[in-house]
Amino acid sequence: MVETVQIVVGGSPMSMFVATPAGGGKGPGVLVSHHQNGLSEMTRIMVEKFASEGFTAVAPDHYHRTPELPDIAAKKKVVTDENLIVDMKAAVDWLRAHPRVDPNQTIITGYCMGGRHTLLGAATIPGFRAAGDFYGGGVMNARGGGPTVFERLSGITCPVGGWFGLDDHNPPPDEARKVEAELKRLGVPVEDFVFYKDTGHGFMDPTMGPPKYNAASAEDAWTRSMAFFRRCLGEAQRSAAE
């Protein structure tokens, strides 16, 4: 079950979707950065899916500073990278303090613009064990000034995986491959990015239905990403025990 929790960030109440796994004890946590539609049904579904896999999941509302704006397009235009970093840091601090979360076992992931935010968060907030970028576009541009996400990639210290559609235009495959190559050049551990044929943007979103939602690509990407996350978390546990 997903609940909505509010915390105050920069003087503004920020809502977050939160889902916890069944059972008890501490386990991994995941920060889920939402797609351009915000805390939508798709975000709720993904948070629930992570909880079913044993993660405590939190998805903060990156639009919380502009409740007066009329629509998502207007809100999206005024979201700055510096505010995104503040939001994600606050959500991660909350997540790592959660009684069901081992604070040393947290990952970050996101979809659409949330994929971009995943790389931004991994580059600027220490302590993640893995980062998973689902078709995040706009990494070559900054929001609100400062360096681009691409220029910040050197700050990433955890392994990164990525899942993209070959028919996507934001990001186009060439841009995603450029990110992959730059991460490897910088020495960031990379799970080779996966590119799906006959698959466009938003292919993980079941609320859209086909052809935008591609069930086969979505199922494969989920399976691959979960294996990647579990491997990274397991390797971190082994390193801590040595």
Mean pLDDT of 173-200: 98
Q: How confident is the model at residue 236 (pLDDT cuts 50, 70, 90)?
A: low
Tokens 């580059």, located at residue: 123
Supply the pLDDT for residue 237.
56
**pLDDT > 90? residue 187:** yes
Task: Give helix then strand counts, H and E, for the chain.
Answer: 7, 8
pTM: 0.95
pLDDT surpasses 60 at 13 = yes
Ramachandran assignment for 144, one of left (phi > 0), alpha (psi -120 to 50 degrees), beta (any other) = left
Alpha helices in 72-201 (DSSP H): 72-77, 81-96, 113-124, 149-152, 173-185
CATH of 2-241, one of 3.30.565.10, 3.20.20.210, 1.10.10.10, 3.40.50.1820: 3.40.50.1820
Looking at residue 149, its pLDDT comes to 98
- pLDDT given at position 241: 47
C-alpha span between 229 and 9 (Å, rounded): 28
Helix (H) or strand (E) run with residue 59 in it: strand 56-60
Domain ranges within the chain, ordered by starting residue: 2-241
Do the beta carbons of residue 81 and residue 113 sit within 8 Å?
Answer: no
Cis peptide before 99 (omega within 30 of 0): no
At residue 47, does pLDDT exceed 70? Answer: yes
pLDDT of residue 10: 86
**pLDDT exceeds 60 at position 109:** yes
Q: Is the peptide bond before 211 cis (omega within 30 degrees of 0)?
A: yes
